[in-house]
Structure 1
Amino acid sequence: MSIGPVMVDVQGLELAAEEREMLQHPAVGGVILFSRNYESVEQLRRLADDIHALREPPLLIAVDQEGGRVQRFRDGFFRLPPVGSIGAAFCNDSRKALRLSREAGWLMASEVLSVGVDLSFAPVLDLDLGISTVIGDRAFDRNPETVTELALAYQRGMHEAGMASVGKHFPGHGGVAADSHHSLPEDERSYADLELQDLIPFERLVRNGLNGIMAAHVLYPHIDTQPAGFSRTWLTGVLRESMGFQGVIFSDDLSMGGAEWAGDYPTRARMALDAGCDMVLVCNQPQYAAQVVESLVAYNDPAANLRLARMHGATSLQRKELTATERWQSAVSLLEQCEAERWLDMDLE
């Protein structure tokens, strides 16, 4: 069985019978976990092992474990600072900030891999232009060169841990005030303006081993009439052809307000796949996820299958073994210097 084009979620701390059946459907290729799926390190490891054991090749298991406001696994994991705090340190001591970023990437990835989860959708490559509150300190900085340097260091740490990197949200969510969770933002800038700002981190990381990209539910009307995540211009023309990106393209969640314009859920999924996505996400709407999966029962993209197969995480130390290592202890000591503000968690239960 190949890795299907749909990533779905599950509702609780263990798999229900109907979820087991769903996850064995040929159109399913992955599972994204949320805070509601986490109670303890031991429980999470059992859940991940259970998901992986369902089929061969195993399903991909993903999470958003950025740090700051967006960290799904908390108690029992190191409380990661928002990467914006690393960016704030860059202007005072760039060498220290680069080390902080590398160790943050390594620590995040090592802890996630230690419980059997394959990947975290990171690093964020958006710019904090002071416009988007949904991005804010999830971004490293407003300066594209600073974001690039810190993101490359973060990616290096992820790769050292054995995790694939997924940059988001292509081609950049930082220039719009609207939150794509609730509506479709429109960015009125020209392609030339985006080339000088938002696209720089994506271009540089593509040339330096970026494994995956998540597309934004943002419309750029001066470039295309379709939002980026549904746009052949952006995903095939710019990302694949102009930038030469060979990795996996993920949609953002098709349940978000920014995707509603495309129609019903099966139509949204087909449009995103036709535009160039390899895998589409449908979260927190199990009935619509089932519709998407059934609509894609005969779907097959051999190239996407090969790309997705490379996203599985490396075999990792178990949690107790990991926390006993010198590098884990050193990384924790270093990152504790970044005092994270207490934000409301950006999670959908």
Structure 2
Amino acid sequence: MTSQQAPTHRSRRAPSRPSRGRKLLWPIPLLALSLATASLGATYPSHPSAASHAPDASAAGQAASCVDQVYSAMTGPQRVGQLFMGSITASTPDQKRIQVLRQYHVGSVFLAGRSKAGTKATKTLVDSLQAKADTVSKHRVGLLVSTDQEGGQVQVLSGPGFSTIPSGLVQGSWSTSKLRAEAATWAKQLKAAGVNLNLAPVADVVPLSLGKNNAPIGRYDREYGHTAAAVTPHSNAFAAGFAQSNVLATLKHFPGLGNVRGNTDTTANVVDTVTTTKSSSLTPFSSGIKAGAPFVMISLATYNKIDPKHRAVFSSTVIQGLLRKTMGFQGVVVSDDLGNAVAVKTVAPADRALNFLSAGGDLVLAGEPNQVPAMTKAVTARMAQSAAFRAQVDQSVHRVLAAKQKVGLLTCG
């Protein structure tokens, strides 16, 4: 999710009918689960620059046990559904699309568009969605409910109970202690509305020389500043405030959209010819990951000096190499919108999901629900054919469930 259309960010939706049927069985990688759970258990420190403390071993073990219980009881279609996030228009939810999400066991939703309804009305909507979430062998598996609540021109939810959040550039002019405190308040407001995941903060560094000519970020003042030194402490402070209020945050758009001109939501063939694996613009991401960031969103641009052959969202060099191995990220990797973004229009929907998951991604942001049937069928077919792909999917489901467990979305006896 980048910004767009007047930055509505992914005004997409979610899935369609179920792939109920044969139960798919594959082994449970406990090591991968423990790593995912441990990562998600990390909290942002009191001071964004400080190192975070390791999670309590017994707590991590209990979380792993709960995730294992839920995972073991799931059917194949239920597991596959955890790999998808479908979009619902917050102001005018489409019941047919919601039904599609339910039929395909889609485990996460994204509230898109613009809604001025306020916290109470939003909570009513979210409660109605959560009521349709799957119960797995008496274990409730709640929905990750996300939105774009950055501030400025990118704030999906407003109205009674929600603050008017200033732009990233304004937030970047504040002290980090003020930003953290304000972010904790904004997170509490989302929590009151039933939202447990924010697709923010923006960790992109837009050079001053590019400024407004950077269509996805600079044009809308979404950046915290024009240098890594300015962005890093502020993106960390924003994420720390959200961690304080127990709402999951997402560093985006890895490995950065600050050096491009085109907007991947509305433009094909967006290419970054500047960023390398050693660029300072990666610092906000690496610092946020060290502090315990639970989610990272992958850009739809191509990075010529990192992997010129693939868009970042389809690149194992970017996801498995740079993000996971080099930076040590163990949390959930979510895609930018693979439903409606022009940057991926030339790729068949089924291949978008397969390419992202094969590259090491965990959670497909499917802005167009009508594409989910093709995506889930392709994933199910590939799992039947490839043990390696099956193992990757297995780890991804565990990471998503571990994130849900952290915010109280799993119940285990």
Shift of 1:21: 4.4
Shift of 1:154: 1.4
**TM-score (norm. length: structure 1):** 0.81
CA contact (8 A) 1:101 1:151 kept: no
**TM-score (norm. length: structure 2):** 0.69
**1:245 matched to 2:329:** yes
**1:85 matched to 2:170:** yes
**1:216 matched to 2:299:** yes
Question: Which residue of structure 1 lines up, in the alignment, with residue 217 of structure 2?
Answer: 135
Question: Which residue of structure 1 lines up, in the alignment, with residue 190 of structure 2?
Answer: 112
Summarize the Cα distance change of 1:223–1:21 in structure 2 as closer, same or farther, 3 Å threshold: closer
Matches of 2:407 and 2:329, distance apart in 1? 22
Question: Which residue of structure 2 lines up, in the alignment, with residue 121 of structure 1?
Answer: 199
Shift of 1:24: 3.9
Which one has more relative contact order, counting CA pairs under 8 Å at least 6 apart?
A: 2
SS in 1 for 2:272: coil
1:23-56 per-position Cα deviation (integer Å, ceiling 9, x unaligned): 2424x22110023566343321121112112213
**1:66 matched to 2:150:** yes
Question: Which residue of structure 2 lines up, in the alignment, with residue 98 of structure 1?
Answer: 176
**1:32 matched to 2:110:** yes
Q: Which amino acid aligns with 1:206?
A: I
Matches of 1:190 and 1:34, distance apart in 2? 30
Count how many residue pairs are aligned between Structure 1 and Structure 2. Answer: 304
CA contact (8 A) 1:62 1:120 kept: yes
Summarize the Cα distance change of 1:190–1:153 in structure 2 as closer, same or farther, 3 Å threshold: closer
SS in 2 for 1:269: helix
Q: Which amino acid aligns with 1:220?
A: Y
Percent of paired sites with the same residue: 28
> Gaps (5+ residues) in structure 1?
90-96, 316-349
Matches of 2:352 and 2:191, distance apart in 1? 31
CA contact (8 A) 1:181 1:256 kept: yes
**1:258 matched to 2:343:** yes
Question: Which residue of structure 2 lines up, in the alignment, with residue 207 of structure 1?
Answer: 290
Question: Which residue of structure 2 lines up, in the alignment, with residue 310 of structure 1?
Answer: 402
4+ residue runs of structure 1 moved beyond 6 angstroms? none
CA contact (8 A) 2:119 2:192 kept: no
Q: Which amino acid aligns with 1:189?
A: V
Question: Which residue of structure 2 lines up, in the alignment, with residue 8 of structure 1?
Answer: 86
Shift of 1:297: 4.5
Shift of 1:67: 0.7
> Gaps (5+ residues) in structure 2?
1-73, 135-139, 384-389, 409-413
Shift of 1:287: 2.2
Matches of 2:241 and 2:118, distance apart in 1? 25
SS in 1 for 2:310: coil
CA RMSD in angstroms comes to 2.2
SS in 2 for 1:198: helix
SS in 1 for 2:333: strand
Shift of 1:129: 1.5
